[in-house]
């Protein structure tokens, strides 16, 4: 079996599911309360569908020469932990291109990836020689690091002598015209509330026309009110609502969303 075939097999295992995978998901959700079983399952399904289908892998890899490096590089990967398995694609890229991954996991997400790779060892034992989980980044040839703007500044100084990809904070915005349909607002709600809004692709800023009528939007987005049943989300919501009240800020709210008029893009 090749490593590509092993990743395809991993995708099949994720798609079929079993007690072993369920235990892995539950363990990760206990370790990090933001990682609900539903959110982990959503991410696993996305990984399986977009990265681990045989035709998707063939289409992606077909754009590049099929040439493995004569000497594999040691690529350090500093992974974020805002979403479950958010660094999976970086690991996939390094391994399937024939290099060795030195992985520094986030303490917020240090269960799922090792669990998936242990499963892959059953089909492709050589993978254990291709990836090393580390606490400190030393003896590497290149680096891919993801973190906050502050940590990215440190990464850029420390890793400037090496080939690198440094990712900073990113935010997503939505531009509304006032002519959105109910379906558009529901899709916007998914972009706001998926993973509790913790991802860089989650919408955190709305741009609207002057005299925009927020009432239909606020009513439509109230259909996502189940998120407040999650204690961490509810505590965060209550804190920012109290801050808006104390600060006499201009805001609107429903049972699950707080809209505050301000210049910043991040929420």
Asked whether the beta carbons of 80 and 91 are under 8 A apart, the reply is no
203: helix, strand or coil: strand
Question: Token pair for residue 257?
Answer: 């969303």
Q: What is the pLDDT along the chain (267 residues), one digit of tens a residue?
A: 899 999 999 999 999 989 999 999 999 999 999 999 999 999 999 999 999 999 999 999 988 877 777 789 999 999 999 999 999 999 999 999 999 999 999 999 999 999 999 999 999 999 999 999 999 999 999 999 998 888 888 898 889 999 999 998 889 999 999 999 999 999 999 999 999 999 999 999 999 999 999 999 999 999 999 999 999 999 999 999 999 999 998 899 998 999 999 888 887
Q: Does the model's pTM come out above 0.85?
A: yes
Task: Compute the distance between CA of residue 5 and CA of residue 175 in angstroms, rounded to an integer.
Answer: 42
Name the burial class of residue 262, with classes exposed (0-12), middle (13-18) and buried (19+) by CB atoms within 10 angstroms of its CB. exposed
Pairing status of strand 251-253 against strand 203-207: unpaired
Domains and CATH numbers, the chain: 3-167 (3.40.605.10), 172-260 (no CATH)
Cα angle, residue 227 at apex, residues 226 and 229 outer, rounded to 5° = 70
Question: Strands, DSSP E only, in 5-86?
Answer: 74-78
């Amino acid at each position: 079996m090749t490593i590509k075939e092993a990743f395809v097999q991993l995708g099949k295992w994720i798609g079929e599911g079993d007690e072993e995978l369920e235990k892995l998901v539950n363990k990760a959700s206990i370790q990090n309360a933001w990682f609900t079983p539903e959110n982990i399952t959503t991410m696993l399904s996305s990984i399986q569908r977009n990265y681990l289908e045989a035709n998707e892998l063939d289409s992606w890899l077909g754009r590049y020469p099929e040439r493995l490096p004569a000497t594999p590089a040691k690529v350090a990967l500093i992974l974020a932990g805002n979403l479950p398995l958010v660094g999976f694609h970086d690991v996939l890229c390094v391994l399937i291109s024939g290099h060795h991954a030195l992985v520094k996991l986030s303490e917020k997400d240090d269960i799922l990836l090792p669990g998936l790779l242990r499963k892959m060892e059953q089909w492709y034992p050589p993978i254990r020689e291709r990836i090393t989980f580390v606490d400190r980044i030393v003896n590497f040839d290149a680096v891919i690091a993801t973190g906050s703007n502050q940590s990215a500044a440190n990464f850029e100084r420390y890793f400037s002598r090496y080939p690198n990809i440094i990712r900073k904070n990113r935010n997503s915005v939505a531009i509304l015209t006032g002519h959105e349909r109910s379906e558009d607002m529901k899709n916007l709600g998914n972009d706001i509330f998926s993973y509790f809004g913790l991802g860089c692709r989650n919408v955190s800023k709305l741009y609207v026309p002057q005299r925009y009528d927020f009432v239909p939007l606020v009513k439509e987005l109230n259909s996502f009110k189940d998120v407040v049943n999650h204690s961490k989300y509810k505590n965060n919501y209550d804190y920012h609502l109290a801050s808006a009240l104390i600060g006499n800020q201009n805001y609107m709210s429903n049972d699950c969303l707080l809209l505050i008029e301000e210049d910043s893009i991040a929420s």
